[in-house]
């Protein structure tokens, strides 16, 4: 839709919902039957302070100008990402 637009512009593509890195890890690792807590080390130096506002993408411009709507859940998107990585890994290992 962006490429078919009459004029180039910047758009944010987002659901407008917030998810934490922990949410992402939980969905991704659970998809392959693992517990992320057994595989991921969290360095407290990189944890944001509690006063940071909740970050959420606003795709209203893309919705208004392009008629774009998201049609995939967070879980489905994470599963697709994991599947793509698994396929890439298989191909790099010579396993088709």
Name the strand (E) or helix (H) holding 84.
helix 74-92
Q: Is the pLDDT of residue 51 over 70?
A: no
Q: Is the pLDDT of residue 83 over 60?
A: yes
Closest CA to 17 of 54, 61, 51: 54
Q: Is the pLDDT of residue 96 over 60?
A: no
Q: Which residues contact residue 1 at a Cβ distance below 8 angstroms, ignoring those fewer than 6 apart?
A: 62, 66, 67, 68
Residue 19's pLDDT band (boundaries 50, 70, 90)?
very high
Residue 46's pLDDT band (boundaries 50, 70, 90)?
confident
**CB neighbourhood size of 27 (10 A):** 20
Residue 95's pLDDT band (boundaries 50, 70, 90)?
low
Q: What is the mean pLDDT of residues 39-66?
A: 86
């Amino acid at each position: 839709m962006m490429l078919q637009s009459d004029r180039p512009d910047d758009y944010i593509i987002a659901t407008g919902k917030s998810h934490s890195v922990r949410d992402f890890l939980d969905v991704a690792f659970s998809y392959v039957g693992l517990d992320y807590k057994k595989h991921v080390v969290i360095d407290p130096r990189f944890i944001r302070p509690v006063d940071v506002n909740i970050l959420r993408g606003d795709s209203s411009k893309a919705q208004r100008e392009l008629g774009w709507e998201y049609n995939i859940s967070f879980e489905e998107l994470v599963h697709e990402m994991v599947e793509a990585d698994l396929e890439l890994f298989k191909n790099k290992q010579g396993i088709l």
